[in-house]
């Protein structure tokens, strides 16, 4: 059965696009057929992070508007046979994404893919609502800082109220992905503690992704970090997160300060 997953946050710059690419690739590495879909009309970032920007001919809006077939717009990944990208338009108006059109594209994608991973734009307006609309499961990307946690809390409210699943009276499955986690700053008390974020948002933890140069390098070479640096700490955390989405139970690790040199295990919390 296919699953539509939305990667959302409210706030911009927290790591949604990075996480969409990394989790999408990790799910495809496990053999699933995966489509990553860029809903961030106007910014068009996901194609860059996937290294597919020169191959974009048609995009999500063309398919929504009936100007291109889904198969014409999907771009197969150069590295993984089961990974595809449906890019966003850089030039078209956001309003060209009609809600009926998006519903039809999501239905079509469900026919061919195991996972459809939707990269949401920032904010809590129309674009973000369209991205979450057809989701079966949500990954709420949050940085350990007050403004990000506050925006995530608002997004959780939207997920429970404004999605098709919520309107059918069904429970919306939500997972917290804590990203850009800086162990040294956490230890100095300059960031919110993992426990505090969990307490405020009260949704299960899917993973903690450390702040890492490996993510920036991956972005620069146009390859998801889970493919280009699979042994790096952020990639391993993303790979574990993808396995948890597939139902595996894996111990949760809190990245520790490198100078201390060990990985702390998070006891007393059940993994998502």
Ligand X SMILES: Nc1ncnc2c1ncn2[C@@H]1O[C@H](COP(=O)(O)OP(=O)(O)O)[C@@H](O)[C@H]1O
- What is the smallest separation between the CB atom of 183 and Mg ion, expressed in angstroms? 24
Residue 236 found at the interface with ligand X (CB under 6 A): no
Ligand-binding annotation for 261, yes or no, is: no
User: Residues 82, 142, 179, 228: which binds ligand X (CB under 6 A)?
Assistant: 179
Residue 223: exposure state from Cβ atoms within 10 A (0-12, 13-18, ≥19) = buried
Structure tokens at 9: 């946050």
Ligand-binding annotation for 41, yes or no, is: no
Ligand-binding annotation for 226, yes or no, is: no
Ligand-binding annotation for 142, yes or no, is: no
- What is the smallest separation between the CB atom of 179 and ligand X, expressed in angstroms? 5
Structure tokens at 92: 């078209």
Structure tokens at 17: 């696009």
Contact 248, 207 (CB under 8 A): no
**Region for residue 42 given its phi and psi (left: phi exceeds 0; alpha: psi -120 to 50; beta: otherwise):** left
For ligand X, the closer of residues 70 and 194 by Cβ is 194
- What is the smallest separation between the CB atom of 212 and Mg ion, expressed in angstroms? 18
| Helix locations, 134-208, DSSP H | 146-161, 164-167, 183-187, 194-201
Residue 155: exposure state from Cβ atoms within 10 A (0-12, 13-18, ≥19) = buried
234 interface partner picked from ligand X, Mg ion, none, CB below 5 to 8 A per type:
ligand X
- What is the smallest separation between the CB atom of 146 and ligand X, expressed in angstroms? 17
For ligand X, the closer of residues 62 and 148 by Cβ is 148
Residues that bind ligand X (CB under 6 A): 9, 12-18, 45, 122, 179-180, 209, 211-212, 215-216, 219, 234
Mark the binding-site residues for ATP, compressed into ranges: 11-18
């Amino acid at each position: 059965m296919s699953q539509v997953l939305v990667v959302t946050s409210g706030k911009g710059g927290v790591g949604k696009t990075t996480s969409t690419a990394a989790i999408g690739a990790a799910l495809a590495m496990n053999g699933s057929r995966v489509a990553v879909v860029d809903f961030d009309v106007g910014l068009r970032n996901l194609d860059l992070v996937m290294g597919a920007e020169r191959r974009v001919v048609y995009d999500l809006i063309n398919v929504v508007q009936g100007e291109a077939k889904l198969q014409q717009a999907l771009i197969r990944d150069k590295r993984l046979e089961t990974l595809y990208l449906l890019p966003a338009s850089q030039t078209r108006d956001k309003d060209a994404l009609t809600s009926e059109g998006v519903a039809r594209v999501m239905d079509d994608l469900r026919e061919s893919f195991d996972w459809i991973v939707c990269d949401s734009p920032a904010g809590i307006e129309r674009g973000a609502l369209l991205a979450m609309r057809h989701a079966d499961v949500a990954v709420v990307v949050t940085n350990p800082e007050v403004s990000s946690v506050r925006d995530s809390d608002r997004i959780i409210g939207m997920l429970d109220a404004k999605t098709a699943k919520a309107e059918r009276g069904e429970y919306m499955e939500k997972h917290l992905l804590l990203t850009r986690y800086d162990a040294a700053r956490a230890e100095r008390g300059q960031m919110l503690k993992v426990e505090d974020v969990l307490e405020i948002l009260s949704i299960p933890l899917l993973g903690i992704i450390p702040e890492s140069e490996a993510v920036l390098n991956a972005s620069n070479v146009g390859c998801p970090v889970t493919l280009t640096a699979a042994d790096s700490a952020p990639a391993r955390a993303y790979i574990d997160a993808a396995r948890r989405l597939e139902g595996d139970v894996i111990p949760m690790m809190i990245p520790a300060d490198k100078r201390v040199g060990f990985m702390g295990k998070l006891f007393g919390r059940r993994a998502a």
